[in-house]
Amino acid sequence: MESITLYCRENGSDKVYQASLQPQEQGYVVNFAFGRRGSTLTTGSKTPVPVSYVVAKTAYDRLVRQKLATGYTQGPALTESLQHQPPTPTGLRCMLLNPVAEDELEDLLQDHVHWMQEKMDGRRMLLQKQGKVITSMNRLGVTFTPPETIQQSAAQSPEDFILDGEAVGDVFHVFDILSLAGEDLRQSRFATRYFQLRDFLRTFRHTHIKLVESYCAPEKEPWFQTLKEQGKEGVVFRHMDAVYTPGRPNAGGPCLKHKFYETASFVVAKNNDKRSVSLLLFEGDKIKRAGNVTIPPNHAMPKAGSVVECRYLYAFWESGSIYQPVYLGVREDIRAAECTTDQLKYKAEPTLVTV
């Protein structure tokens, strides 16, 4: 097995590129991961299926030569726990939440059975430690390579675990725990899991793993206003007795989310001129246009057919287009079929006054 880590710091950039040649099944695969240093890396493979060693070695060497020719230089070798992991379905899935209904928000802020946490604006991630092996999974349960800093912090733990949280840059913000030291905690109430998580994180150094604070009444309402004024993404309400249930309920549920601004996932229809793309959504068996969004210079242009996330103020009833869209990035962990018009929040229609 071979692996290499390359870095590029030209013209103010700070990029990392990892490549590895690994045995898989009856052959070999060449996998890669790249992105800004310290961020969650984008992963892929040069060999969609295992190939012979000669073919894989040729592809690996060619890939390394190409990167070295474009300004990358070799960095320190990766340790065993930091090897790039090929994307693999694991069977583990995140617990996904429905939004809070507007008429429920006040009750959730006042009651004593729902705990409130800040909703982080990052990439959803399950982080697992088994012996010396650190594995991360997206919301669909498919493995990907997290920042090395997060892996290094996880490796300091004296116990095996599975944690749930959001990766924001090179920090993993953890809000729940699924297992600890081989014990499955998913059927325990959330309050019990949270206190176990808090106590566990006190047992080792973890500079790049941070606990998401929980707030109970009467602290919820003032913290809600503070987070909103600070421009945070939103909050999550978790019932203190909720067990950890993978997937999303058809409606409601013991844990709910409330965003301070609107976001939605869209399918890229095509690339336009001047660094913008056209967006579309599904409505039943119909395809609906959702407008255009400009791609910032620090983002690569997404390909047609890829899923992207955008922030917006509201959508228009007539056209279905989103107003004041802001491009947030590609979402490899969301399927195109999930990009439906049900996500949208529409501009309020004017109220007719009769006299």
CB 335 within 8 A of CB 307: yes
Q: Mean pLDDT check: name the lowest of 28-42, 61-75, 155-169.
A: 28-42
Written as six digits, the tokens of 211 are 């606990």
Instruction: Give residue 146's pLDDT.
Output: 78
Rounded-to-integer distance, Cα 140 and Cα 120, Å: 18
Instruction: Give residue 80's pLDDT.
Output: 40
Q: Which CATH class is domain 2-82?
A: mainly beta
When pLDDT is cut at 50, 70 and 90, the band that residue 86 belongs to is: low
Q: Mean pLDDT check: name the lowest of 38-47, 104-113, 179-188, 194-203.
A: 38-47
What are the pLDDT digits (tens) for 223-239?
Answer: 999 999 998 889 999 99
What are the pLDDT digits (tens) for 273-300?
Answer: 889 999 999 998 889 999 999 998 888 8
Write out the DSSP string of 294-306: EPPTTSPPPPTT-
Rounded-to-integer distance, Cα 120 and Cα 312, Å: 17
Instruction: Give residue 236's pLDDT.
Output: 97
Q: How many CB atoms lie within 10 A of CB 288?
A: 16
Q: Range(s) for CATH 2.20.140.10 in the chain?
A: 2-82
Instruction: Give residue 85's pLDDT.
Output: 52
Question: What secondary structure letter does DSSP report for 6?
Answer: E
Q: How many CB atoms lie within 10 A of CB 329?
A: 15
What are the pLDDT digits (tens) for 303-315?
Answer: 889 999 999 988 9
Mean pLDDT comparison of 75-79, 111-115, 121-125, 268-272, highest-scoring range? 111-115
pLDDT over 70 (residue 333): yes
Mean pLDDT of the chain: 88
Q: Range(s) for CATH 3.30.470.30 in the chain?
A: 98-259
Instruction: Give residue 253's pLDDT.
Output: 94
Instruction: Give residue 81's pLDDT.
Output: 40
pLDDT over 90 (residue 218): yes
Q: Alpha-carbon Rg of the chain, whole angstroms?
A: 22
Distance of CA 249 to the CA centre of its chain: 20
Decide: helix, strand or coil at residue 353.
coil
**Phi, psi of 177, rounded to the nearest 5 degrees:** -135, 135
Length, in residues, of the chain: 355
Distance of CA 48 to the CA centre of its chain: 23
Mean pLDDT comparison of 15-19, 24-28, 81-85, 110-114, highest-scoring range? 110-114
When pLDDT is cut at 50, 70 and 90, the band that residue 73 belongs to is: confident
Instruction: Give residue 123's pLDDT.
Output: 86
Rounded-to-integer distance, Cα 308 and Cα 268, Å: 7
pLDDT over 70 (residue 349): no
What are the pLDDT digits (tens) for 6-54?
Answer: 888 776 677 888 888 888 878 888 888 888 776 667 777 888 778 888 8
In terms of CATH, what superfamily is 98-259? DNA ligase/mRNA capping enzyme (3.30.470.30)
pLDDT over 90 (residue 77): no
CB 252 within 8 A of CB 108: no
pLDDT over 70 (residue 192): yes
42 or 73: which carries more pLDDT confidence? Answer: 73
Q: How many CB atoms lie within 10 A of CB 173?
A: 19
Instruction: Give residue 11's pLDDT.
Output: 67
For the chain, the helix, strand and coil percentages under 3-state DSSP, each to the nearest 5: 20, 40, 40
In terms of CATH, what superfamily is 262-343? Nucleic acid-binding proteins (2.40.50.140)
Q: Mean pLDDT check: name the lowest of 129-138, 184-193, 204-213.
A: 129-138
CB 48 within 8 A of CB 55: no
Write out the DSSP string of 309-334: EEEESEE-TTT-PEES-EEEEE-TTS
